[in-house]
Structure 1
């Protein structure tokens, strides 16, 4: 027994549950005949040495009847609880399993059901399903399901958007497997408590239905029927009612205490629910065109979300760019410019009600506009590596690092569990984690921030990535670790010929790794320029303002830091014409009226500005912190 269960609570719960289960198993075998023996000479006798709880109207021993009734009472209560918990889990996880649109309908139905008292629901269902044990099981099970579904929905929603869930989706893990393997283990403790409480409640509910004549029918009997039979002589012969009542209380207490002890014991070490594991058949690696130089081709990408009044907000609008094999491309811009949404759209992680439209969206030879198909999931799982911003939320906190990495190889490459584990250790070694064999057995909380980020990169390398998308991979790290992670990404790109797409709000970070920079503003690429030309040939006023806002060694420390005047454009209220016009020192009526196209310039880059020729000279000095902005 684990040490956490060797407590007064754990020992008491174990002893009480053992007593209940032993009675359930042994009582009908040992005392079934004595419980059914009719003795007309001892009808309605009080307690005695021969009959500890007295006898009933046929002279049968009440004590032995209570013991024998435990099997049917507990069995039916567990069946109804299992039905209610399973139904509640499926209903509560419906948004994750069937999508947000259909999930909303299920959630609305659950909310309506929760508004009715559980006892009223049980009585209503009992009438619908009919009198008898089967009808009572269905009635009580469906009566407790709505409350369990609402709890499940709340818990699932709290972690459904975590990065490790997104990583599992990119790896091609199915929705049901994500629910069982990644979601349920993280919400298991409150579910255990409520399931055990529901079991105790089901015992009481069954006793109530049988007492009313809606549950177990003669000649069978459970604690509820014994309660009903003894109630008529309550004042003359109280033990006839108190004995089955006490049995209900003790059994319910056994379940509740056991659940509490289990919750304290499992903590965050043992997954509560485990999916049945089947070794996948070996599958060939996803075909990657070797002759094609373009890894990612995006044209006219738009990402929109519904808003109030039937409108749609479009944070990404008309995005076009390509990434070639082995190329390092940086994507920069202020928060809200659409950088992360672009990466999620490429990884097929935009779910309803969000909508993704594109004239062309191809990755590794696959048209992603047709998906998601099995072939696409395989390509995304093995050829696209995603490195998320927060390394702490990138991993499932209750699974070992090695197990999470190995899942990718098992899912997409058909590796056995042992080979996948060896591959995971090798990938941890490849990202320069010390003692990878030991680290693979550790949990995410045992890693530092930089180590977790390296492990996240290692997860992306479990396949054979042709594109690594790193979304703000160094934001949560200190400067020293940031430099190490950037150097690791650059080394991986150089040694594997994988393309790198580095998303950042820091233009200097991008300049350390990338050869080309895409500058995004208000959901569009406003400039595509070589990193070497950033300081001298950047032509869009927004790009130049970003560069001017970066402090350097020559910055006058007596002056406030340079800032870009105004506020970023609101995707819900995008202005007509150029979105940067309200903040631009060169803006005129043409800029406020028409949106400039992204066109090639003489320097070989691309820029979307009506007055790109004016930016050859330094722009007007941006506003400084504390100065009023018109």
Structure 2
């Protein structure tokens, strides 16, 4: 292990191994000698026979220090275990309960963390009573807030990963997601900090025993030995110093080992939202498509987050529909609201975000306040843009895919894994059996993205939302992934909602294209008309930005002047007006509605000749 190759790591591991070995063997090898009373050598000084001298009963202090190792280490580890487990529960509750119910738990943890640790230990020791049991509980619960804060931070980071979102879409409960997907990925830093915490617990326990609040006679640990030797410390200093030295060495062993492992692994040891509501829209909704083959129907979708003075609405009034076997693309610059629209459709926007509007999937309104895990887990699949974060790095690929069938189709472990291998074969992986047994980091980016598509096919998805599925891939693998999505669409009649900032990718496999700007759809156009019949200046700018074989190498690439608008400070009128070469006073004061597939007062007007070559994304 890399940590053991460093001087600090080797020293800490050597000391820790010695301490743990003594904890196991010392009571067996030296227990009788440590208990032997010699009335002829009361309070004797160090000698060849008694290296540290004897106590007031003539018992060998060196042997007693060795024998006390087991009780001292055992009690410290018990207290650490209580601290870690309690902290893990407190740290998990805010995520399990959600922001509203979890906020009081977070507040409690913050208060306890701010409370001085020593005072908290002493206060709890008086509550639980004098003795080893009370001291273990006091030290354990006093250390829990620190681990709770650590767990809250770690879990919040892991819970934001795509593979957790995928598990939520699959319909897994939060407790199961916590056990299967979150905890395995926080175990490493938690164990490292627990190792360091054990050293602190050892010192705290020795302190309580020294004060008479911990281990009571006739049992003894290092703190109890220090208390017994305190009376004669000036005449016989080793009686108190020897157990103190043992505490320091054992504490260093835990701390040095934990610090070395933390360094090798790169682990760092250790405003409430305002009341608001989503503003009303002025843009009318689209008429929903009708028919039995309607898969997705979205009307007036809006997503808002609390802001310092008013709600921020990154998505406002989006309406769209998809039928079986249809591919619809959403294109736009970064920050236009594409991915947030996909998250809202997949029910992945959490508090403090608010989603309004209607999202109907296969005839069921997902925004009716009910639970639709079964529908989302079988009829909807999401392919995220980063395949490395879409799969749980702590689990093999096959069991991750199999989890969908085990949960929704009640298949056994073997049957579910066999279906996972079959789905990996269906997405054209050359060796599906080997891929099923591999961890995500053992697969290439294209293989991971295929595995994510295979996970979506574990059920019978009517809709696949692909959010930038080719962003991290080279052009060859990108072509293969797009071809795979097209095959899935053709073979299974699956509707595809493809999100991208690349117009050429959207135009390759989509039937219709929705162009988004500043959180709303500004144009809807057939993919075949995108390059020749686009009417919105922004759409034409996006198309002009894509180089082609006829693009002159002597001229600079096209650019759109200015920057996208801030959703927290939307201007009056058309949001694109400040960057548009066709903008008029009406554009600056009145926001155009989406009529006949375009939201623009100057739709279709020719661009000024001098600005025709200046548009791009």
User: Which bin holds the TM-score, normalised by the shorter protein?
Assistant: 0.7 to 0.9
2:451 to 444, 455, 464: 455
Equivalent residue, structure 2, for 1:271: none
Q: Is the 8 A contact 1:133 1:215 kept in 2?
A: yes
* Aligned ranges 1:508-519 → 2 under 5 Å: 508-519=504-515
Equivalent residue, structure 2, for 1:525: 521
Residue 541 (str. 1) matches residue 540 (str. 2)? no
1:550 to 543, 546, 553: 546
Encode CA deviations 1:414-459: one digit per residue, 9 max, x unaligned: 2222222222222221111122222222232232222222122112
Q: Is the 8 A contact 2:196 2:259 kept in 1?
A: no
Query: After the TM superposition, which of the residue ranges 363-372 and 323-332 deviates more from structure 2?
Result: 363-372
Distance 1:174 1:41, change over 3 A: same
The RMSD of aligned alpha carbons is 3.2
State the SS of the aligned residue for 2:394.
Answer: coil
| 1:339 Cα deviation after fit | 0.7
Instruction: Using structure 2 for the length normalisation, give the TM-score.
Output: 0.86
Encode CA deviations 1:465-503: one digit per residue, 9 max, x unaligned: 111111111122222222211111001110011100001
State the SS of the aligned residue for 1:582.
Answer: helix
* Aligned ranges 1:85-164 → 2 under 5 Å: 85-164=84-163
State the SS of the aligned residue for 1:392.
Answer: helix
Query: After the TM superposition, which of the residue ranges 342-351 and 187-196 deviates more from structure 2?
Result: 187-196
Cα distance in 1 between the residues matched to 2:120 and 2:568? 44
State the SS of the aligned residue for 1:99.
Answer: helix
Query: After the TM superposition, which of the residue ranges 27-36 and 427-436 deviates more from structure 2?
Result: 27-36
| 1:145 Cα deviation after fit | 2.4
Cα distance in 2 between the residues matched to 1:25 and 1:452? 47
* Aligned ranges 1:349-360 → 2 under 5 Å: 349-358=348-357, 360=358
| 1:393 Cα deviation after fit | 2.2
Residue 490 (str. 1) matches residue 478 (str. 2)? no
* Aligned ranges 1:364-379 → 2 under 5 Å: 364-371=362-369, 373=371, 376-379=372-375
Instruction: Using structure 1 for the length normalisation, give the TM-score.
Output: 0.84
Equivalent residue, structure 2, for 1:46: 45
State the SS of the aligned residue for 1:233.
Answer: coil
Cα distance in 1 between the residues matched to 2:266 and 2:21? 28
Equivalent residue, structure 1, for 2:599: 608
Distance 1:314 1:257, change over 3 A: same
Equivalent residue, structure 1, for 2:297: 297
| 1:365 Cα deviation after fit | 3.2
Cα distance in 1 between the residues matched to 2:544 and 2:214? 78
Equivalent residue, structure 2, for 1:281: none
Query: After the TM superposition, which of the residue ranges 342-351 and 503-512 deviates more from structure 2?
Result: 503-512
Structure 2: runs of 5+ lacking an equivalent:
268-290
State the SS of the aligned residue for 1:301.
Answer: strand
Query: After the TM superposition, which of the residue ranges 324-333 and 43-52 deviates more from structure 2?
Result: 43-52
Cα distance in 2 between the residues matched to 1:121 and 1:610? 67
State the SS of the aligned residue for 1:577.
Answer: coil
Q: Is the 8 A contact 2:558 2:614 kept in 1?
A: no
Q: Is the 8 A contact 2:161 2:389 kept in 1?
A: yes
| 1:141 Cα deviation after fit | 1.5
State the SS of the aligned residue for 2:243.
Answer: helix
Residue 56 (str. 1) matches residue 55 (str. 2)? yes
1:506 to 478, 502, 507: 502
State the SS of the aligned residue for 2:382.
Answer: strand
Cα distance in 1 between the residues matched to 2:396 and 2:264? 18
Equivalent residue, structure 1, for 2:463: 467
Q: Is the 8 A contact 2:573 2:588 kept in 1?
A: yes
Cα distance in 2 between the residues matched to 1:393 and 1:143? 35
Equivalent residue, structure 2, for 1:424: 420
Pairs aligned (count): 592
Cα distance in 2 between the residues matched to 1:228 and 1:546? 78
* Aligned ranges 1:398-417 → 2 under 5 Å: 398-417=394-413
| 1:260 Cα deviation after fit | 6.8
Q: Is the 8 A contact 2:135 2:214 kept in 1?
A: yes
| 1:211 Cα deviation after fit | 0.6
* Aligned ranges 1:276-295 → 2 under 5 Å: 292-295=292-295
Residue 394 (str. 1) matches residue 396 (str. 2)? no
State the SS of the aligned residue for 2:551.
Answer: coil
Q: Is the 8 A contact 2:34 2:59 kept in 1?
A: yes
| 1:116 Cα deviation after fit | 4.5
Encode CA deviations 1:518-567: one digit per residue, 9 max, x unaligned: 12122112222222233444333332332233332333333332333443
Q: Is the 8 A contact 1:562 1:622 kept in 2?
A: no
Distance 1:380 1:258, change over 3 A: same
Distance 1:566 1:22, change over 3 A: closer
Distance 1:524 1:29, change over 3 A: same
Structure 1: runs of 5+ lacking an equivalent:
269-290
Encode CA deviations 1:336-360: one digit per residue, 9 max, x unaligned: 11110000011111111111111x2
Cα distance in 1 between the residues matched to 2:610 and 2:39? 104
| 1:195 Cα deviation after fit | 0.8
Equivalent residue, structure 1, for 2:611: 623
Distance 1:625 1:538, change over 3 A: closer
Equivalent residue, structure 2, for 1:248: 247
Cα distance in 2 between the residues matched to 1:88 and 1:386? 33
Encode CA deviations 1:304-360: one digit per residue, 9 max, x unaligned: 011112x110011111111111111111112211110000011111111111111x2
Cα distance in 1 between the residues matched to 2:493 and 2:610? 40
Q: Is the 8 A contact 1:5 1:265 kept in 2?
A: no
Q: Is the 8 A contact 1:469 1:501 kept in 2?
A: yes
Q: Is the 8 A contact 1:5 1:264 kept in 2?
A: no
Q: Is the 8 A contact 1:384 1:467 kept in 2?
A: yes
Equivalent residue, structure 1, for 2:182: 183
Q: Is the 8 A contact 1:577 1:596 kept in 2?
A: yes
| 1:391 Cα deviation after fit | 2.0
State the SS of the aligned residue for 1:500.
Answer: strand
Cα distance in 2 between the residues matched to 1:562 and 1:262? 51
| 1:223 Cα deviation after fit | 1.8
Q: Is the 8 A contact 1:565 1:622 kept in 2?
A: no
Q: Is the 8 A contact 1:564 1:622 kept in 2?
A: no
| 1:574 Cα deviation after fit | 1.3
| 1:581 Cα deviation after fit | 2.9
Equivalent residue, structure 2, for 1:72: 71
